[in-house]
Structure 1
Amino acid sequence: MNRIKGSIFFSVFAAMLGLMLIAPIMPPLIRELGMRESHSGLIISLGSIAMALMAPVWGRISDMKGRKPVILIGFIGMAISCTLFAVTLYGGLNQWITGGLLLTLLIVIRSLIGMFIPAVLSSAQAYMGDVTEGEERSGGMAIISAANGLGLVFGPAIAGAFTIIGLLWPLYFGIVIAIAAYMIALWFIPAAKPVIQEKPTKVSPFQRGLGVYLAAGLVTMAGIMTLQVIGGFYFQDQLALSPAATARMVSFGLMFSGAAMLIMQLIQMKWLKWQPVRMILMGSLFLLASMLLFLVYNQLFVYYLSFFLFGIGSGLMMPGFMAGASLAVSKEQQGGAAGLVAAVQGISAVVTPILTTTLYQVDKHFPFMLVAVLVAIMSFILWGSKNNSSRTTAKSVSL
């Protein structure tokens, strides 16, 4: 079991790492290619749309064909598409490909990357749902969440380190990590029979008990994306930092968040073992506290503390909504539910950057205020649904 969980952890980590290696290198590459800044947003956003659309599809395929084959297909596609992306960028830098053809190729290939990565994410989460039951499910999803969080944090850091050698080197590393992850999945993840032998029952995001966890996932990922997209601008404006100092400050802050996330998830797995609703509600308190500190105070130490609290909150909320979504559906629908969870990540990656940057131009505090309001509303709805469920259960028992 530990071998399976370790292999699933590395698979999710490698997929998220491959995804996050691209974002930091796009702005300088776009300028080197003589393209406009808006082209970078177009390339990344369309790739995220492909991720949101394909995640539920891969989840359903894994229900019918098995989790391991879909994970392997995901890594093969990830390696090939990253190779094509690197070759296209190399051709553009050397003026072999230019103009509209270059932009079209970059959009298409980035969309391919967005298509294949959720094959790993949704199938790995569904596999974890297959091998865990009841209270153990929350701990299993904490492993998935930890891998997600580490990929989100270390992807940009590793990309930054490789750019010292050259702008395309993070992509070369992404190709290598995809191949390594493929080999590990091939050797260490046991093959399992498909969960169902016929066309699966379609999972609706609005079906009873599932929608509220998907909403919690959307809010959680919106908070994470807001900090990544707006954080640099906000802290530079608030503290009057130089670009280099801003980069260092945000890097340290994200490291604190990543460390807090990992620590919280280890505590959850080993000792707390809270159920999904409690994890989300407790995590939302930490997330709200971090947003309020970001808004009220203007000191570097307080900002670092806010990053740490944010990591604790997201470290509870991510496995909470993943486990909740998994427990809300039947065994035959694990792949579909996992696909919807991965789709939520893709939707957040499309909507949040556009929305928060627009709000930031109106007032620099608005993005953080929006996250705080969304977290509060989501917590209130979740608390209400929990109380309604408890009353329904009590009534049925009395009858």
Structure 2
Amino acid sequence: MTLWLLFTALLATATGQGVVMTLLPPLGREVALSEFQVAIIISSSALIYALGTTIWGRVSLRFGRRRIILVGLAGYTLGTLLFTTVFSLGMRGFLAGLPLFAALLASRMLQSSVMSATPPAVLGYAIALTTPDRRLAAISRTTSANSLGQVVGPAFGGLLAALGLLVPLYAVALLTFLALGWLWRNLPDDRTLPRQPEQHTDHDTTGERLSWASWCYLIVAASLFSAMAMIHQTLGFFFIDVWGLSASHAAQRVGFVLMTLALVSVAVQFGFVQRSHWGAGRMLMLGLPALVLGYALLAFATSMTSVHLAMALIGLGMGLSYPAAAATATATGSARQQAKATGLISATPAVGFIVGPLIAAPLYQLHTTAPFMAAALLMALMLAIHHLSGIRVAAP
């Protein structure tokens, strides 16, 4: 029951993020923001989110993870209402131009600074709740909420947008408020949980410095999302420029193929990872080659069937690789080192979505398929790092 409560916290957050990312471009156009201003809002909030998760991971160790999860959900609810209110003022003509942009940027960054409390606290709670031999399954169950949110969020936002562009944002605030109430009533205080045995490896650790093993797999996890962000940045332009689709038709195609990716990723995590006795290393040895193949196939795709096949391979690879990398990165060292690694692993999606678009944009100018091939090469490099690292941890 407790793991499902943690899953709910992440699902509410991920669904909200999916809605915001779907609506932000049309909302920006509605209040006369430039594409560059919208990009600044997205990148700046992602940066604040990434920095926040590293801090909140350690704060949760001191003040209790339950409290920090609730703080994150409350911050998301209030931050969404503030962000939506600023947009409403812009749409009504009370704010415009630079003041509107500054208010939106400030409100979104403020929201990100608080909502970033939830993911590291959820992962830390899952780690504290489970024994080392069940850690991979627990992390997979909780983090699969992110993949499910990528399915539910865009569909949820698109459906409610028919009632008005701001309606989905108000619905997100209600959703996170309901999740906050449910967890406040039912989630036990993690400080009363029995202490689980710590895992140790043959790597020396001092103070709070992370081991080489943790850093290797933090890099792998961040690279997974960097490659993913490169696809998000490129795919719509690719459909328009190469396949000659209209902007609206391209947006629909992007939504369908990203849903394929997310559905496969969720199915893999629920149907295989959580029930399998495979170790994290073995999952990475299968997941990373699937990503290499998927991104490479995307570069040479000539039909929607081949694009969906490529996305299914990418979903398979993400479903196997991210929970395995997360489990490995947080499996070494003392409790304080694991807490620090947990905060950092929670930041990897945001780091990926800061770095990935900045790589993809200039590569796309060189060649329309260059971002896809770069993503494939990046995954091949991560496979080499995993193969050559020689890391052996006790967690499966």
Q: TM-score, normalised by structure 1?
A: 0.91
- 2:175 is matched with 177
Identify unmatched segments of 5+ residues in structure 1.
394-399
Counterpart of 1:211 (choices 215, 226, 232) is 215
Kindly tell me: are residues 224 and 188 of structure 1, through their superposed partners in 2, closer, same or farther at Cα, counting changes over 3 Å?
farther
| Displacement of 1:239 | 2.8
2-structure distance, mates of 1:66, 1:277: 31
Q: Is the 8 A contact 1:63 1:333 kept in 2?
A: no
Residue by residue over 1:341-366, the C-alpha shift from the partner in whole angstroms, topping out at 9 and shown as x without a partner, is 12222211212122212211221111
- 1:265 is matched with 269
1-structure distance, mates of 2:155, 2:333: 36
Amino acid at match of 2:62: M
Structure 1 window deviating more from structure 2 (106-115 vs 154-163): it is 154-163
1-structure distance, mates of 2:384, 2:273: 26
2-structure distance, mates of 1:111, 1:15: 15
- 1:77 is matched with 75
- Find the residue that maps to 1:163 and give its secondary structure: helix
Q: Is the 8 A contact 1:138 1:274 kept in 2?
A: no
Counterpart of 1:348 (choices 320, 331, 352) is 352
Amino acid at match of 1:290: G
- 1:280 is matched with 284
- Find the residue that maps to 2:162 and give its secondary structure: coil
2-structure distance, mates of 1:41, 1:27: 9
2-structure distance, mates of 1:118, 1:278: 31
| Displacement of 1:202 | 6.5
- Find the residue that maps to 1:22 and give its secondary structure: helix
- 1:304 is matched with 308
1-structure distance, mates of 2:305, 2:102: 44
| Displacement of 1:301 | 0.8
| Displacement of 1:312 | 0.6
Kindly tell me: are residues 373 and 264 of structure 1, through their superposed partners in 2, closer, same or farther at Cα, counting changes over 3 Å?
same
Amino acid at match of 1:245: H
Let me know the Cα RMSD of the aligned residues.
Answer: 2.0
2-structure distance, mates of 1:246, 1:371: 21
Counterpart of 1:336 (choices 312, 336, 340) is 340
- 1:359 is matched with 363
| Displacement of 1:334 | 3.5
2-structure distance, mates of 1:368, 1:276: 26
- 1:397 is matched with none
Query: Does 1:291 pair with 2:289?
Result: no
Q: Is the 8 A contact 1:118 1:339 kept in 2?
A: no
Kindly tell me: are residues 66 and 41 of structure 1, through their superposed partners in 2, closer, same or farther at Cα, counting changes over 3 Å?
same
- 2:98 is matched with 100
Counterpart of 1:20 (choices 8, 18, 21) is 18
2-structure distance, mates of 1:89, 1:202: 46
- 1:35 is matched with 33
Q: Is the 8 A contact 2:137 2:275 kept in 1?
A: no
- 2:198 is matched with none
Counterpart of 1:62 (choices 41, 60, 63) is 60
Matches within 5 A, 1:169-248: 169-193=167-191, 203-204=208-209, 207-248=211-252
Amino acid at match of 1:79: T
2-structure distance, mates of 1:264, 1:170: 29
Q: Is the 8 A contact 1:64 1:194 kept in 2?
A: no
Q: Is the 8 A contact 1:283 1:312 kept in 2?
A: yes
- Find the residue that maps to 1:72 and give its secondary structure: helix
Amino acid at match of 1:39: Q
Q: Is the 8 A contact 2:73 2:177 kept in 1?
A: yes
- 1:371 is matched with 375
- 2:156 is matched with 158
Q: Is the 8 A contact 1:238 1:298 kept in 2?
A: no
- Find the residue that maps to 2:190 and give its secondary structure: coil
1-structure distance, mates of 2:373, 2:348: 21
Amino acid at match of 1:17: T
1-structure distance, mates of 2:300, 2:243: 13
Residue by residue over 1:7-43, the C-alpha shift from the partner in whole angstroms, topping out at 9 and shown as x without a partner, is 0111111111122221221222222212221110111
Residue by residue over 1:210-237, the C-alpha shift from the partner in whole angstroms, topping out at 9 and shown as x without a partner, is 0111011111111222222211222333
Q: TM-score, normalised by structure 2?
A: 0.92
Matches within 5 A, 1:130-169: 130-169=128-167
- 2:319 is matched with 315
| Displacement of 1:263 | 1.4
Q: Is the 8 A contact 2:136 2:323 kept in 1?
A: yes
Kindly tell me: are residues 19 and 242 of structure 1, through their superposed partners in 2, closer, same or farther at Cα, counting changes over 3 Å?
same
Q: Is the 8 A contact 2:230 2:357 kept in 1?
A: yes
Kindly tell me: are residues 208 and 302 of structure 1, through their superposed partners in 2, closer, same or farther at Cα, counting changes over 3 Å?
same
Q: Is the 8 A contact 2:240 2:250 kept in 1?
A: yes
| Displacement of 1:106 | 0.7
- 2:199 is matched with none
1-structure distance, mates of 2:219, 2:277: 22
Identity across matched positions, percent? 27
Q: Is the 8 A contact 1:68 1:192 kept in 2?
A: yes
Q: Is the 8 A contact 1:62 1:194 kept in 2?
A: no
| Displacement of 1:154 | 2.3
| Displacement of 1:389 | 5.1
Q: Is the 8 A contact 1:329 1:337 kept in 2?
A: no
2-structure distance, mates of 1:373, 1:15: 31
Amino acid at match of 1:289: L
- Find the residue that maps to 1:246 and give its secondary structure: helix
Q: Is the 8 A contact 2:136 2:280 kept in 1?
A: yes
Kindly tell me: are residues 46 and 266 of structure 1, through their superposed partners in 2, closer, same or farther at Cα, counting changes over 3 Å?
same
